[in-house]
């Protein structure tokens, strides 16, 4: 079986499979060239031929064990009826923001996602036999922070206030995201992805009771719906910033594997996460930029911590734009020659 898929099913590999979050993107010159040609991120993400090419670029260059679909977590809000734009140097925007516009005023546009499924079919046909194909979506809490505020924010304060002030209306938004995420991931699976990841980039901003309600519960709903339909498709949960709440997340959501960010000591994670659960992570993206001995010792620390369980080598968060290509090559050599 493909090494990454086997690991996700719970079989430890002698050499851990590797892929990097955000591996298809701006640190690659071939990505920047294609994006310039297509005129921007959204034009690229909704053009199946180009998006398939971008998905495969890092596989061709580095031979990662996993390919991640080139798309974005904010495609779901666009399918729910918000207008998605990526201004140059500004980050994404969604309008109208739900902080002052009712969800019911939006007109859903599920067809917005059709090009993504076509991208999946093309990539599935193009990948090497040993490469696992990963689909993804954002987790409801993280997606809701963008839908409510209409943009990214430093501490998600608007959305946290909204969730306290009007939990009924906020729950309706989260429920709509859950439903549309299940449909979105199901269609990705039908089109050819072999495992899926739920990105919860802002899971770290919630107090414990809110974390239970807005992170654990909606992710558990998504996982159980997917497992009922596709029992053989592993789900990776990545609650960035969850820290001490990671073990509860791992036990209570039903995810098959858990992603760990770089702020967590991998030895602590190895001890506190369920014994046989596959773990993904957690090299500091800045150690990858630093290179040299910093990179070497950080890589061996992660490898050593997770040596006794199924482990997928990855960063603790997305690869940064100024990461030297040579450091990515060095990382792969270090991981693959370690045992």
22 is catalytic: yes
Alpha helices of 63-154 — where are they, by DSSP H? 75-79, 114-126, 140-149
Tokens matching residue 5: 């898929």
Minimum distance from residue 20 beta carbon to ligand CP3 (Å) = 8
Distance of closest approach, residue 292 Cβ to ligand CP3, in angstroms? 25
Residue 64 contacts ligand CP3 per CB under 6 A: no
* Catalytic pick among 27, 31, 146, 184: 146
- Interface pick for ligand CP3 out of 8, 52, 74, 303 (rule CB under 6 A): 74
* Residue 11: strand pairing partners: none
Q: Which of 70, 162, 184, 211 binds ligand CP3 (CB under 6 A)?
A: 70
Distance CA 102, CA 99 (A): 8
Among 152, 167, 241, 291, binds ligand CP3 (CB under 6 A): 152
DSSP secondary structure of 1-69: --HHHHHHTT---SS--B--TT-SSTTSHHHHHHHHHHTSHHHHHT-HHHHHHHHHHHHHHH--SEEE-
Q: Can you tell me which of 9, 12, 22, 169 binds ligand CP3, judged by CB under 6 A?
A: 22
- Of the candidates 100, 95, 85, 25, the one whose C-alpha atom is nearest the C-alpha of residue 61 is 25
Site residues for ligand CP3, 157-196, by CB under 6 A, read none
Least separation, in Å, of the C-beta of 168 and ligand CP3?
26
CA distance 94 to 201: 17
In angstroms, what is the minimal distance from the CB of 172 to ligand CP3?
22
Is 35 known to be catalytic? yes
Strand partners, 236: 197, 257
Question: Does residue 281 belong to the site contacting ligand CP3 (CB under 6 A)?
Answer: no
Residue 66 binds ligand CP3, judged by CB under 6 A: no
- Please report whether residue 318 would count as binding ligand CP3 according to CB under 6 A: yes
By CB under 6 A, the count of residues binding ligand CP3 is 21
Q: Rounded distance, CA 10 to CA 102, Å? A: 43
Q: 10 Å Cβ neighbour count for 338? A: 15
Map residue 335 onto helix, strand or coil: helix
Is 38 a binding residue for ligand CP3 by CB under 6 A? The answer is no
- The single residue among 29, 39, 87, 91 that binds ligand CP3, judged by CB under 6 A, is 91
Given its phi and psi angles, is residue 200 left (phi above 0), alpha (psi -120 to 50 degrees) or beta? beta
C-alpha atoms less than 13 angstroms from C-alpha of 170 in its C-beta half-sphere? 25
92 lines the binding site for ligand CP3 (CB under 6 A): yes
Q: In the annotation, is 146 catalytic?
A: yes
CB of 54 to ligand CP3, least distance (A): 8
Q: Measured from the CB of residue 215, what is the shortest distance to ligand CP3 in angstroms?
A: 14
Q: Does 136 bind ligand CP3 (CB under 6 A)?
A: yes
Contact, 24 vs 70, CB < 8 A?
yes
Question: Which is closer to ligand CP3, CB of 146 or CB of 162?
Answer: 146
Q: Is cis: bond before 141, omega within 30 of 0? A: no
Cβ proximity of 284 and 263 under 8 Å: no
Q: Is 121 in the site for ligand CP3 (CB under 6 A)?
A: no
Q: Is 61 in the site for ligand CP3 (CB under 6 A)?
A: no
Active-site residues, by number, are 22, 26, 35, 72, 146
Residues in contact with ligand CP3 by the rule CB under 6 A:
21-26, 35, 41, 68, 70-74, 91-92, 136, 152, 199, 201, 318
């Amino acid at each position: 079986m493909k090494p990454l898929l086997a690991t996700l099913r719970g079989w430890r590999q002698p050499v851990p499979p590797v892929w990097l979050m955000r591996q298809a993107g701006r640190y690659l010159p071939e990505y920047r060239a294609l994006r310039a040609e297509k005129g921007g991120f959204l034009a690229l993400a909704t053009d199946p031929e180009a998006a398939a090419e971008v998905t495969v670029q890092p596989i061709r260059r580095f031979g990662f064990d996993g390919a991640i679909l080139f798309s974005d977590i904010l495609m779901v809000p666009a399918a729910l009826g918000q207008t998605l734009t990526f201004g140059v140097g500004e980050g994404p925007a969604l309008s109208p923001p739900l902080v002052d516009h009712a969800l019911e005023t939006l007109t859903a546009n599920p067809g917005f996602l059709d090009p993504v499924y076509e991208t999946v079919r093309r990539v599935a046909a193009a990948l090497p036999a040993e490469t696992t194909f990963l689909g993804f979506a954002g987790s409801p809490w993280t997606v809701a922070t963008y839908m409510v505020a209409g943009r990214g924010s430093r501490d998600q304060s608007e959305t946290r206030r909204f969730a306290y002030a009007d939990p009924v209306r906020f729950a309706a938004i989260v429920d709509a995201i859950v439903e549309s995420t299940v449909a979105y991931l199901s269609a990705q699976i039908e089109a050819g992805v072999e495992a899926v990841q739920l990105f919860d980039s802002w899971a770290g901003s919630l107090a414990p009771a809110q974390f239970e309600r807005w992170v654990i519960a909606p992710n558990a709903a998504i996982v159980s719906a997917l497992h009922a339909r596709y029992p053989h498709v592993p789900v990776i949960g990545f609650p960035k910033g969850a820290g001490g709440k990671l073990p509860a997340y791992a036990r209570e959501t039903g995810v098959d594997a858990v992603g760990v960010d770089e702020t967590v000591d991998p030895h602590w994670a190895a001890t506190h996460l369920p014994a046989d659960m596959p773990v993904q992570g957690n090299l500091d993206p800045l150690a990858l930029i630093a290179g040299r001995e910093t990179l070497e010792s950080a890589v061996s620390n992660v490898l050593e911590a997770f040596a006794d369980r199924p482990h997928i080598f990855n960063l603790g968060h997305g690869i940064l734009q100024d990461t030297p290509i040579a450091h990515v090559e060095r990382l792969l050599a270090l991981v693959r020659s370690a045992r």
